[in-house]
Chain A
Amino acid sequence: MMKEVLSMDHVSFSYQSEEGVTEKAIDDISFAVQQGEWIAIVGHNGSGKSTLAKLMIGLLFPDEGEVNVFIQKLSEANLWAIRSRMGFVFQNPDNQFVGSTVQDDVAFALENNGVPFTDMVTRVHESLAQVNMSNFHDHEPHHLSGGQKQRVAIAGALALKPELLLMDEATSMLDPQGRDEVIRVVEELKTKTGLTVISITHDLEEALLADRIVVMNKGKLLTTGTPTQIFARGDELEAIGLDLPFAMKVSRLLRESGMELFGEHMTEEELVNGLWTSHFSK
């Protein structure tokens, strides 16, 4: 039985500007997320991804349409209850680190939600273990790498045992190593605990790990589908300024040079297999 975690129903939103007239930052968007899914939201800068995320956690409310989280319409009244059931990780590792040490930061949401001290201690330990940061309890933020800070932010979200984890470009300010660390942790969480994840990202290798991709373009939802379905529309994606997975780029170049290749090649493994069967296995 599928259980809906979040849905957007014909949601539109415009920022108020001094001149009055503004384009819609979010224009008539609808989609639903089921429990246990990993959704990647991709789109060029300014396409409305962060606005969408803010609508999901009630930092903004739609002009038109409805945002439903855990099958309730998100409103001022149930905002805090709903937020305590979801975790959020933002882009800038520094600007969301509230605590003065790693453990203080992880405990922050617990403190806010009135969790008793003894529970807090075990939850902080467990959460830090889940993101492989157990040896860093007393570290101060300016002695951590970006990837470590983001993992602490994830631990801070996990401490509340959330049903949904939202990440807004959580890896875009990290070096490749930091990015890998974070993606690996999320992947592990997803397989171990079945956590529902919505991740806004420019990183295609990350998007390929998702169950479903939502493509945004200029405030509109361009398309959603599995990575295979999405990347089958390579030209369209390139036209709106998105990158293609590396294997796909190579496979397209090969086709352009007149080589016969069968099927789509999303991953390097698929490409190598494709090459083998069509050209080298004879």
Chain B
Amino acid sequence: MLEKMIFGRYIPGTSFVHKLDPRSKLSFVFLFIIAVFLANNAVTYGILLGFTLLVIFSSRIRIYFLINGLKPIIFLIAFTFLMHIFFTKEGAIIVDWKFIKIYEEGLRQGIFISLRFLVLVLMTSILTLTTSPISITDGMEDLLNPFKRFKLPVHELALMMSISLRFIPTLMDETDKILKAQLARGSDISTGSIKQRIRAVIPLLVPLFVSAFKRAEDLAIAMEVRGYRGGEGRTRYRQLKWHWRDTVALALLGVLVAALVLLRG
């Protein structure tokens, strides 16, 4: 089931979006998230949606995978939509059937809020789907560099993040293996009372922690032996390069913001 989720995964590729510098992509998504809140009428929401589809198109990620992989989140969006429809009681009544009353404002807000939610999720997914986690880390480290002055341990945070990312697949495999091993010994996580289920998690968690600690210990030794002594005096192998396409991407975002500001109600 987990393997179907694509939220937070990376699909390698060579599209325009894939090739953007992580710094420009990060800034782009950050600014986009703010820009989304500018939209407040049908036209501006329409523009947002159109813009998002354009980005998806130029990332060459198949819509089918996107929808399929984001299913759990789409349920959440649908739920938000229903909440708005049933609990907003403003404007004219447009549906009045037995005990169900739907107001115009409810429908309007439901659609807008869900759309907002949807474009945010789509845009951030496109970011993670087209940018390897390590590039995201590099981009962050670079963008956060100015904060070093305020004693923010930027290098350490970035290293921590890159190592965690590096070990996520390893630990996922490990979890799967331990789960299978305990299932083979008759443990059963999917049935029984809540209490029984919580108990059934212990045989999974204990070995996972033991293994994670062992790995962390080994890794710390391996890093020390290879001369790691903190960020001081360290050079960097990963170098980021800003291209014209990054400027173009940010300019496009500027156009979007301008359009939103001009056309909002």
Which residues of A does B touch, CB under 8 Å? 57, 59, 80, 83-84, 88, 90, 92, 94-101, 103-104, 107-117, 120, 124, 140-142, 156-157, 160
Contact = CB atoms under 8 A, between A and B. Distances in A.
A111 B134 contact: no
Interface residues of B, number: 30
Interface stretch (B23-31, B181-189, B194-202, B233-241): B233-241
B173 A116 contact: no
Choose among B163, B169, B223, B237 the residue with the greatest number of A CB atoms under 10 Å from its CB: B237
Closest 8 CB pairs of A and B: A95-B218, A107-B237, A96-B222, A112-B227, A100-B134, A109-B226, A142-B169, A88-B225
B170 interface: yes
B166 interface: yes
Contacts of A59: 221, 224-225
B226 A99 contact: no
A94 B170 contact: yes
A157 B222 CA distance: 11
Contacts of B239: 117
A54 to B, nearest CB: 8
Contact of B235 (A96, A98, A120, A124): A120
Given A94-B170, A110-B235, A142-B173, A156 B226 contact: yes
Contact of A112 (B169, B170, B215, B228): B228
A80 B223 CA distance: 12
Given A96-B218, A98-B219, A100-B134, A117 B236 contact: yes
A171 B222 CA distance: 16
Contacts of B109: none
B165 interface: yes
A9 to B, nearest CB: 22
Contacts of B165: 100
A100 to B, nearest CB: 4
Interface of B: 132-134, 162-163, 165-166, 169-170, 173, 214-215, 218-219, 221-229, 233-239
Nearest to A84: B227
Nearest to B221: A59
Contacts of A116: 235
A90 B228 contact: no
Contacts of A90: 218, 221-222
Contact of A95 (B219, B228, B237): B219
Nearest to B219: A95
Given A57-B225, A100-B133, A111-B234, 18 more contacts: A59-B221, A59-B224, A59-B225, A88-B226, A97-B166, A98-B163, A100-B132, A108-B223, A109-B226, A110-B237, A111-B235, A113-B227, A115-B235, A117-B237, A120-B237, A124-B237, A141-B166, A156-B226
Choose among B219, B233, B235 the residue with the greatest number of A CB atoms under 10 Å from its CB: B235
Contacts of B225: 57, 59, 83, 88
B203 to A, nearest CB: 22
A94 B215 contact: yes
A113 to B, nearest CB: 5
Nearest to A107: B237
Contacts of A107: 237
A199 B169 CA distance: 30
A59 to B, nearest CB: 6
A59 B236 CA distance: 26
22 contacts: A59-B221, A83-B225, A83-B226, A84-B227, A90-B221, A92-B215, A94-B170, A95-B215, A96-B218, A97-B166, A99-B166, A100-B133, A100-B166, A109-B227, A112-B227, A112-B228, A113-B227, A117-B236, A120-B235, A124-B237, A141-B166, A141-B170
